[in-house]
DNA sequence: GCCGAACCGTAACGTACGGTACGGTTCACG
DNA sequence: CGTGAACCGTACCGTACGTTACGGTTCGGC
């Protein structure tokens, strides 16, 4: 029986990573329609090797998603001194990271893929994406929020709830619109502006002294 | 050349609606994997009829989505007197409607389907879902927001921006988590509570006198 | 230089499913 | 009745693609 979610830290040889890169590229280019043949051709390897390494098509896709998701180890915000300004800066940085990731091609592609699989009763990919997307950011943001509360800068009952509102203020309807096929690619400046706005709104709700 | 999005008000005979109901049920049950044969069997009709009525598989899916989407004509909030309390009530009602819809089986299924199609370069379904989901609610909320601004109860530059933040505060990460396969079905009470919280937060940001 | 393991390229197999054809049945209409 | 349109059920076709099989090639170890 395969475990529901393979959380083990799979490690791939350079050659295997070339294959996964090819798969990811094809995924971004043509979505779930990529064929094993096309991956083999793009990666200049044989289908036999694909099956030997990854078991079957789903294994290849899972490996691709895991491998890519593992790369999104965004830089831990370093030591924040607990004044109002640095707290705001930390939060805004998170907002920029989150929004920038979510509007990216790779994120849209992988989320589409995982959603498609979830619709086919195969929740493995969905769990992986969930774990490495929203939940990962939440885990990293949580200590910042709680330190802010500790320092009487923020006020909330549950950091979970606070995080979810933060997520909503940052992402809004951008992700669902992109997933549904709308094509817009905000420039770096727009992302920064949106992140700043979201941060401001978040603080308006959760800061003890919003004006500070 | 078929138009990109068939916006015409397709009208279906009762028998055809039975077929569409069967298709929708199968969609909810097994996602995009439903076959023409299964639809024909469930609806007790012949495949020949399916092809005659809907052209091809995509036509059937498109008709199903259009037909279902057209049913989400949520009740227009009736005359709101422009005091702070009634404005809040109107907004909260929208929040309940929006959240209740989005966490429903049918919404999740249809969004998954449309997202899958968007990933296959077929943006028709995505456009339909977009049009009848977020955009429809936005169109209905907009006059409320602008009346609130007119009455000096709300303050914002663009109703578009205000709506998007509203959407974020209401939906947060619930939709993406559901799409990715997490299974939770909030009770009516939870939805109402979340809607109230979102409304409060929205007003904290956009109301001229948040304490009012 | 020899051996075996790993890998490449390609051909072939099996199957599921979209789409079509066709004979049989119902039913409205004259 | 008689007739024809609409529809049901089912058998059938074509194809795309996942998966397997196999002969040929590279390459590290002795």
SS3 A100: helix
Q: Do B119 and A111 touch (CB under 8 A)?
A: no
Partners of B116 on chain A (C-beta within 8 Å) are 32, 112, 115-116, 119
Find which nucleotide's C1' atom is closest to A58's CA. D18
User: Measured in angstroms, what separates residue A46's CA from nucleotide D24's C1'?
Assistant: 13
Do the Cβ atoms of B123 and A181 come closer than 8 Å? yes
Best to test chain B binding among A61, A172, A178 (most B CBs inside 10 Å):
A172
Within 8 A of A164 by CB-CB distance, chain B residues are 172-173
Would you state the CATH architecture of domain B84-206?
Orthogonal Bundle (1.10)
Rounded to whole angstroms, the Cα distance separating B42 from B18 reads 10
Q: Is the pLDDT of residue A25 over 90?
A: yes
Tokens of B146: 């602008």
- Among candidates A161, A157, A178, which has minimal Cα distance to A111? A178
Q: What is the mean pLDDT of residues B163-171?
A: 98
Task: Tell me how far CA of residue B35 lies from CA of A121, B51, B55, in angstroms.
Answer: 16, 13, 15
Structure tokens at B37: 């044969």
**Which of the residues A30, A180, A190, A208 would you substitute to probe the B interface, choosing the one with the greatest number of B C-beta atoms within 10 Å?**
A180
> Closest CA to D9 C1' — which residue?
B46
DSSP string, A23-70: HHHHHHHHGGG--HHHHHHHHT--HHHHHHHHSSHHHHHHHHHHHHHH
The interaxial angle of helices B134-150 and B159-171, nearest 10 deg, is: 120
Distance from CA of A54 to the nearest CA of B (A): 23
Cα angle A62, A64, A70; round to 5: 100
Using the predicted structure, report yes or no on whether residue B211 has a pLDDT greater than 60: no
* pLDDT at residue B209, as a whole number: 75
What is the helix, strand, coil percentage profile of chain B, to 5? 70, 0, 30
Q: Which ranges in chain A belong to alpha helices (H)?
A: 14-30, 36-43, 47-54, 57-70, 84-102, 105-118, 124-132, 134-150, 159-171, 174-179, 188-206
Instruction: Please name the residue of chain A whose CA is at the shortest distance from the CA of residue B169.
Output: A168
Would you state the structure tokens that stand for residue A203, as one six-digit string? 């603080």
Q: What is the pLDDT of residues A101-126, one digit of tens each?
A: 999 999 999 999 999 999 888 888 99
Which positions of chain C lie under 7 Å from any protein Cβ?
7-11, 17-23
Q: Confidence band (pLDDT; 50, 70, 90) for B116?
A: very high
Closest among B106, B126, B15 to B62, alpha carbons compared: B126
- Hey, what are A89's tokens? 């800066």
How many CA atoms are closer than 13 Å to the CA of A25, on its beta-carbon side? Answer: 12
Look at residue B11 in the predicted model and tell me its pLDDT: 83
DSSP code of residue B5:
S
Take residue A174 and report the two structure tokens written for it.
């951008």
Assign domain A14-70 to its CATH superfamily. Homeodomain-like (1.10.10.60)
CB A197 within 8 A of CB A171: no
Q: Look at residue A151 and tell me whether its pLDDT is greater than 80.
A: yes
Token duo for residue B108 = 């999740």
Instruction: Using only the alpha carbons of chain B, give its radius of gyration.
Output: 20
Measured CA to CA, the distance from residue A95 to residue A199 in angstroms comes to 7
- Residue A29: pLDDT above 80? yes
Reported confidence tier of residue A96, pLDDT bands at 50, 70, 90? very high
Give the percent of chain B with pLDDT over 90. Answer: 77
In chain A, pLDDT over 90 holds for what percent of residues? Answer: 76
pLDDT band at A63 (very low <50, low <70, confident <90, very high): very high
How far is residue A67 CA from its own chain's centroid? 13
- Decide: A17 and A98 in contact? Cβ < 8 Å: no
Residues 6+ apart with CB under 8 A from B54: B60, B63
Q: B51 in the Ramachandran plot: left (φ > 0), alpha (ψ -120 to 50) or beta?
A: alpha
By C-alpha distance, which of A64, A81, A70, A84 is closest to A19?
A: A64
Name, in order, each residue with C-beta under 8 angstroms of A137's C-beta and a sequence gap of 6 or more.
A74, A94, A97, A98, A167
Residues B156 and B162 sit within 8 Å (Cβ to Cβ):
yes
Report CB contact under 8 Å: B177, A114. no
Residue to test with chain B: of A29, A115, A160, most B Cβ within 10 A: A115
Domain edges within chain B: 14-70, 84-206
Question: Is B31–A119 a contact, with Cβ atoms under 8 angstroms apart?
Answer: yes
pLDDT at residue A2 in the model: 35
The CA distance from B137 to A144, in Å, is: 35
Token couple for A72: 């999104």
- Vertex B113 angle, CA B109 and B115, to 5°: 115
Is the model's pLDDT at A5 over the cut of 50? no
Q: Which two tokens stand for residue B139?
A: 């169109």
Average pLDDT, chain A: 89
Closest CA to A131 of B4, B186, B181: B181
Whether the predicted pLDDT of A6 surpasses 80: no
Cβ distance B165 to A172 less than 8 Å, yes or no, reads yes
| B168–A171 C-beta distance less than 8 A | yes
**How many whole angstroms separate alpha carbon B34 and alpha carbon B41?**
11
Straight-line distance from CA A17 to C1' D30, in Å? 31
Residue B56: predicted pLDDT: 93
């Amino acid at each position: 029986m395969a475990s529901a979610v393979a959380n083990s830290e799979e490690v791939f040889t350079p050659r295997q990573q070339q294959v996964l890169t090819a798969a990811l590229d094809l995924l971004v280019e043509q979505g779930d329609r990529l064929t094993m043949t096309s991956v083999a051709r793009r990666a200049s390897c044989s289908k036999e090797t694909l099956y030997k390494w990854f078991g079957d098509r789903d294994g290849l896709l899972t490996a691709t998603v895991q491998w890519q998701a593992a790369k999104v180890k965004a830089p831990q915000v370093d030591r924040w001194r607990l004044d109002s300004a640095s707290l705001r800066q930390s939060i805004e940085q998170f907002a920029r990271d989150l929004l920038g990731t979510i509007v990216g091609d790779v994120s849209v592609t992988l989320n589409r893929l995982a959603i498609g699989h979830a619709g086919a009763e195969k929740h493995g990919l969905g769990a992986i994406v969930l774990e490495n997307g929203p939940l990962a950011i939440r885990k990293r943001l949580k200590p910042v929020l709680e330190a802010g509360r500790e320092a009487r800068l923020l006020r909330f009952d549950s950091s979970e709830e606070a995080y979810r509102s933060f997520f909503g203020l940052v992402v809004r309807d951008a992700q669902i619109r992109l997933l549904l096929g709308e094509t817009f690619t905000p420039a770096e400046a727009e992302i920064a502006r949106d992140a700043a706005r979201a941060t401001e709104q978040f603080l308006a709700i959760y800061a003890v002294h919003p004006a500070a």
